[in-house]
Structure 1
């Protein structure tokens, strides 16, 4: 048995030597990687939103050998003009350490990311496209405000896909960027024009507009003694997400207004867990608002944390209790799941338009 094993080993070794010698003798080429003729992308029309990180598209390599490189080439408008704006290099935030939601200060957050120079539009080693959040309406002209898609307004490009087995050219990608929507929900303004959105029930009435609508649970009107609602038919409470002046450049303020547009003292929202709601620091609580120092965007990354359970949205929720019949307490709350993509001083405002919330007991 031992002699048989040794003979087999000698044969394998001899075959390897012979093959190596033949390869040199006959100048046989090195083995190449495989690149399928059917490599493609799941989507060739890219419609990112300017001002936020957009990961778009999916590459199908059809069992091609990795690694594969990608290159955007021949960028042009539909009328043949060259495209350059989407390839401007600008300072862009990239993470150098994982964000967890457990950071205890702005400094700790900022230590985990840095500014690097990146083209506004890039294609990654995975074959995914990214339009970086550093893009703005001033750097990249958004799609036309009248919602048309004329060829002369559309940016086209091709992608060169390559490995050692060869290369393929996939033609005629289109990118049609929407103008910045610095926050979500953003149904209160038109995605094409940036102007206030019309009321969905009466779209032709110029005096009416749409609003961000909060969720409401057991919120009773002080005068009507009925549940307040917010939908397309009735807007007892609406939400504004808007900039304010006088902040420090990285603050978030939360407040509520009564039907006379006067601030409601946050102390009335006696069940609100203010220090656990927002991943912010140096909380200031006044008789008109609660304010935090924050890092933008909010959420910072789209992963589940205690401040963003779904990953893509944070939550502003105000809660309060009042005496109920029989000696118990009634709990009410209202809020909005939101995101803010542009750094600055922002406030989330809950406006009770038709009736004030009832805080008095039964």
Structure 2
């Protein structure tokens, strides 16, 4: 190393000491100024433009509903939210939304790979919660424990009078201050125990009229399955299920006298006689639903399950879309030229109410063709 470079080291050391000293003096000066001039501590920022993208919520009773898109407008986190001044439109206090009831919360992640009911139940527990509450994110949740018996749904005649609407305000707070977002509202629909619910009148709870004759009290709508290459035994034509042709329909209905944890799949011909499930010879019965203890008879296939179905809105082998179970049934037969032709049908569905249920596919007009060509 040259003499010149060696000679620079003390100079660099002295400059460094000077820089540190100046920084310390600046810190002391700032601290002294703060004490002398009594400057306030720096506070968090709470925007005057905080709000929700939508202030009217229309949840469905009997299922978990997460609602609300809070816009904090870059306000400093954490933010505390508090529901205040809950009232009906005529000024009466709202209390039914805040009844405390046990509801399921997950303590471990559900994956769809669980091997038993016991393994599923070990991942969740019952906790007491108000039926309606605000979360730390600012989202609102109406828990599945909220039923028609506990919260009166909107009127059967479809009216929404202010005196029947539940309003509330929301106090939003951080260390920068507090603000109130006013006049949010909740207008709950009555329970719909399953989806799709095309056969269900969402206001009255009775049968839904057919969409092409909504004013005819004798008309009725049905749940429609998806159909692919299902050929009619008599017509030799593809069967249809739409507003014009109800050749195959679906019923989702409770089964009396069960254990409270079952679901069965059943198939009826045009004479309402059960079709043997073994005729659907290409069906992957282990992928129909996340169930256990499969029981196959000449009339139905039944599983032991945990409710709701699906248990969580995540993508699994049983719910590829996340929010509904995909039940697909298939069969093959020999077509013209000796090749195999495959037919598929089924439904994407959800059931929210614990119990014993059956999903019935009814071939109303003609039976599916199973015979070879």
Look up the match of 1:113.
124
Look up the match of 1:71.
82
Look up the match of 2:3.
none
Alignment of 1:227-242 (within 5 A): 227-242=238-253
Alignment of 1:1-362 (within 5 A): 1-362=12-373
CA deviations 1:88-133 (Å, max 9, x no partner) are 1100100000000110000000000000000111111111011011
SS class of match (1:321):
strand
Separation in structure 2 between the aligned mates of residue 317 and residue 256 of structure 1, nearest angstrom = 13
Larger radius of gyration: 2
Alpha-carbon distance, 1:23 to partner: 2.8
Alpha-carbon distance, 1:26 to partner: 4.1
SS class of match (2:359):
strand
SS class of match (1:228):
coil
CA deviations 1:279-318 (Å, max 9, x no partner) are 0000000110000000111111111111100000101111
Separation in structure 1 between the aligned mates of residue 32 and residue 217 of structure 2, nearest angstrom = 84
Moved more, 350-359 or 9-18: 9-18
Separation in structure 2 between the aligned mates of residue 162 and residue 121 of structure 1, nearest angstrom = 20
SS class of match (2:118):
helix
Alpha-carbon distance, 1:156 to partner: 0.4
SS class of match (2:31):
helix
Separation in structure 2 between the aligned mates of residue 222 and residue 108 of structure 1, nearest angstrom = 44
Give the TM-score normalised by the residue count of structure 2: 0.95
Alpha-carbon distance, 1:25 to partner: 4.2
RMSD: 1.0
User: Where in structure 1 do 4 or more consecutive aligned residues deviate above 6 Å?
Assistant: none
Alpha-carbon distance, 1:31 to partner: 1.3
Separation in structure 1 between the aligned mates of residue 180 and residue 267 of structure 2, nearest angstrom = 55
Q: Which runs of 5+ in 2 are unaligned?
A: 1-11
Separation in structure 1 between the aligned mates of residue 275 and residue 291 of structure 2, nearest angstrom = 22
Separation in structure 2 between the aligned mates of residue 207 and residue 167 of structure 1, nearest angstrom = 56
Alpha-carbon distance, 1:24 to partner: 3.5
Give the TM-score normalised by the residue count of structure 1: 0.98
SS class of match (1:141):
coil
Separation in structure 1 between the aligned mates of residue 364 and residue 86 of structure 2, nearest angstrom = 50
Q: Count how many residue pairs are aligned between Structure 1 and Structure 2.
A: 362
SS class of match (1:2):
helix
CA deviations 1:188-246 (Å, max 9, x no partner) are 11111111010111222222200000011011111111110000000000000110013
Separation in structure 1 between the aligned mates of residue 100 and residue 306 of structure 2, nearest angstrom = 23
CA deviations 1:170-192 (Å, max 9, x no partner) are 10001000000110000111111
Separation in structure 1 between the aligned mates of residue 299 and residue 14 of structure 2, nearest angstrom = 93
Moved more, 199-208 or 325-334: 199-208
